[in-house]
Amino acid sequence: MVQIKQKILKYFRLLFYICYSSNNGLNILMKLFENTEVAFKLKTDSELERAYFLFRLIQSQPMVRIGTAVTNFALKAHLPVEGLIRSTVFDHFCGGVTEEDCLPSIDKMYTKGNVHSVLDYSVEGKEDEESFDNAVVIIEKIIQFSEEKNAIPFAVFKPTGFGRFKLYQKIGEGKELTEEENEEWIRVKDRFHRVCKLAYSKDVPLLIDAEESWMQDAADDLIEELMETYNKEKAIVFNTLQMYRHDRMEYLKSLHQRAHQKGFHIGMKVVRGAYMEKERERAEEKGYVSPICISKEETDANYNEGILYMMEHKNMALFAGTHNEESSYLLLNLANKYNISKDDKRMWFGQLYGMSDHISFNLASQGYNVAKYVPFGPVRDVMPYLIRRAEENTSVEGQTSRELNLIKQEKKRRKV
């Protein structure tokens, strides 16, 4: 416990030291993300009102629970609600049903706001071979888009988009596979190599998302194998660190040692995490120690330690996925400290579409590399993703209130 407290204090002191020691530290800290005119310049008045309405709903945990239950029932009962979902929560947090649907929004953000996009095929829960093969085709198409369009600098996919969750879990637990499962795993690995090989040939970095801890070991091992193969000259393959897990710094440091020994670059998307409640519930149910940090403060310190470590070492490329202003300021000032230019392709800031525009557009206006994750897919298939987004917002203290306050400020500014 003492160690944890010392770690938290150390990295919060580091954060404020770096911010305040820069020439314009105090002014930057107080002002950069307050510009709502820049943050919401692409939103019409009606889109701003819709955002206000949605975040007001998301702010209430009871409303999120009720809305989730009602939506799931309506979809399972095949009630005609997709139009309503599409015009409200879907259109705010998703780019469209297909890749082509997303292009107008992507082009608008890039040409008018200098914000890039990462097309995220957000269909979840599919576990048949046809769906896995179809996901590969979609990711290959996105890689082609990325090669052709400066607005789309990355491609991305989830490990369970290419293979069964239970298969990853079994491999991670060290259990012996049946002959049929061995053949299945070969197909999974072939899918990974197929898209990584294409990404390498097109010079398109490829982000691979992290998922639940009890399947992640198998994914980590496979992604490290891919890094060793495709990241000899620079980072093409990126893994994801969920820093609400207290073991991720140890993993990053051990991976760094192996990368140094074997001569490959590390690409890493660093996030706080997306499955906190599920992780804690399973740990309690199964009787093991939860992998999740005991507090938000410990998670914040862990996240900041991760980006500090990556900025201190060469041969690493960082995609900092964060909606946290303090961590964003920390990265800005670390870049300044280590003389990393704003447009260096080894350093990216990332936020989700429909969230934290005050971070994305204000950073981009200063010339930093910024990308929005733009989910897409059929409305019905994307709902699990949207529900998780809503649940995450209610569990992060202050996140939704901050969004609402900024929207209020912009509404007031427009009236004046």
- CA gap 94, 375 in Å, rounded: 5
Predicted confidence at residue 64, as pLDDT, reads 65
CATH code assigned at 228: 3.20.20.220
Is residue 49, in this structure, part of any structural domain at all?
no
Domain residue limits at 302? 95-376
Is residue 41, in this structure, part of any structural domain at all?
no
Predicted confidence at residue 151, as pLDDT, reads 97
Number of domains the chain contains: 1
Predicted confidence at residue 172, as pLDDT, reads 96
More confident residue, 122 or 202: 202
Is residue 79, in this structure, part of any structural domain at all?
no
> Six-digit token pair at 45?
């008045």
Is residue 36, in this structure, part of any structural domain at all?
no
User: Cβ(26)–Cβ(20) under 8 Å?
Assistant: yes
Is residue 11, in this structure, part of any structural domain at all?
no
Given a cut of 50, is residue 262 above it in pLDDT?
yes
DSSP state string for 326-363? HHHHHHHHHHHHTT--TT-TTEEEEEETTS-HHHHHHH
Percentage of the chain surpassing pLDDT 90? 73
Q: Mean pLDDT across the stretch 388-409? A: 77
Is residue 17, in this structure, part of any structural domain at all?
no
The predicted-structure confidence for 113-128, as pLDDT tens digits, reads as follows: 999 999 999 887 789 9
- CA gap 141, 143 in Å, rounded: 5
Beta bridge pairs of residue 238: 207, 267
